Amino acid sequence: MKAAFARSLPRNVWFLGFVSLLADVNSKMIQSVLPLFLVSVLGTNLITVGFIEGIAESTASVLKVFSGALSDYWGRRKELAVAGYGLSTLVTPLFALSTSPAWVLVARFLDRIGKGVRVSPRNALVADVTPVAQRGAAYGLRQSLDTIGAFLGPLIATALLFLSAQNFRLVFWCAVLPGIIAIALLVFGVHESLQVSEAKHNPLQWSALKSLGKDYWMLVVVALLFNLGNSSDAFLLLRAQQIGIPTSLIPLSFVVMNLTYGLSAYPIGVLSDRIGRLGLLIAGFTLFAFVYLGLTLAQTPWQIWGLFALYGLYLGKTQGLLLALVADQVPDTLRGTAFGLINLVTGVAILPASLFAGILWQKVGYQATFMFGSVLAIAAILVLVLSFRCNHKFL
């Protein structure tokens, strides 16, 4: 039945899913080896590595708002998505040609500009062609295919490094190919469907933002509160190392996470179309709280591996559902803006969340870092329940 349900999803959803898969193979091949390339080949210090990543991710978060708003104003999302994916692929050779950290910074900066340009229009494209009754399945499918790419990218990079005697530049050159195929699929396989009136209005003006609705803005508040406790995955890796997992095996944690993430996102999306999204989102936040609590109590490597698998399940229960909830709440012509704003909030929250997590770890202990995240997750759940307790359509 699930297979038949998946086949019934619009053509655009499938193509966008495979575009995401190939683009994630491209980006994860690069990201999984870039820190090692910077440190071992270019002699970069860890502070510089952190600076490059911080600048890159902040850029992407800010641009998602403007690209989403522009897609609403222009009424043409596909061109922005093509521009974003195209820029990221176009700059991939810069990583292979880099001879200094400055070159890597430029390449990473331009790559994240590409991500910032494409994400909100792409998410809106999914909603534009999908009936309300299938949105959970549509976002779940796209998320699952995206995660398969995130799973395959590091594995391909690892295999190339093994076969080429640690040739990082070869990995970067090979990453160009999936990027090119992704652009071709987007250009020839995805068709624009959004219709807008000739009288165009600025989607970022106050009247437009107000029309997004109270329920949408409450979701934004909940996402901000939750993500202030959802620090960088680097702290998960540090905890794994602290428990005693060999450094050479720690990258496999992302494989474990993405495996359970990819396997769960689509079935949970389908389930949300049948029983409602809010309860499943709350269950996902609750699972996150228990995983973070588990990280304070774990004493053996097998417990950490199990927690990594549950962390991937938490992602599968929340990422696609939050997008579907946003799509359900806002007017068709403001979807890009709505996705951009919530992406901005969650992206910007990463910096203070990670800084505070590091301070807590250093000054108090690792337990404080994960307990803080668990408490904020519970707080987000309470706000969500209290806000929507009378709105039965979410339940």
CATH of the domain at 33: 1.20.1250.20
Tokens read off for 196: 């807008």
Segments in the chain below pLDDT 50:
1, 4, 196-199, 392-395
Question: Using an 8 Å Cβ cutoff, are 20 and 320 in contact?
Answer: no
- Predicted pLDDT at 394: 46
DSSP per residue, 14-28: HHHHHHHHHHHHHHH
- Predicted pLDDT at 1: 46
The pTM of the whole model exceeds 0.85: no
Q: Which residues contact 315 (CB under 8 A, 6 or more apart)?
A: 147, 257, 261, 265
Query: Longest Cα pair distance anywhere in the chain, in angstroms?
Result: 62
DSSP per residue, 349-392: HHHHHHHHHHHHHHHT-HHHHHHHHHHHHHHHHHHHHHHHTT-G
The answer as to whether 116 is a domain residue is: yes
- Predicted pLDDT at 198: 47
The answer as to whether 2 is a domain residue is: no
- Predicted pLDDT at 313: 92
The answer as to whether 51 is a domain residue is: yes
Q: Is 131 in a helix, a strand, or coil? A: coil
Over its C-alpha atoms, the chain yields an Rg (Å, rounded) of 20
- Predicted pLDDT at 199: 43
Distance CA 250, CA 248 (A): 6
Q: Which residues contact 275 (CB under 8 A, 6 or more apart)?
A: none
Q: Which residues contact 201 (CB under 8 A, 6 or more apart)?
A: 73, 208
The answer as to whether 4 is a domain residue is: no
The answer as to whether 139 is a domain residue is: yes
The answer as to whether 163 is a domain residue is: yes
What is the domain range of residue 377? 9-192+202-394
The answer as to whether 347 is a domain residue is: yes
Domain count, the chain: 1
Distance CA 355, CA 363 (A): 12
- Predicted pLDDT at 303: 92
The answer as to whether 197 is a domain residue is: no
Question: Using an 8 Å Cβ cutoff, are 297 and 239 in contact?
Answer: no
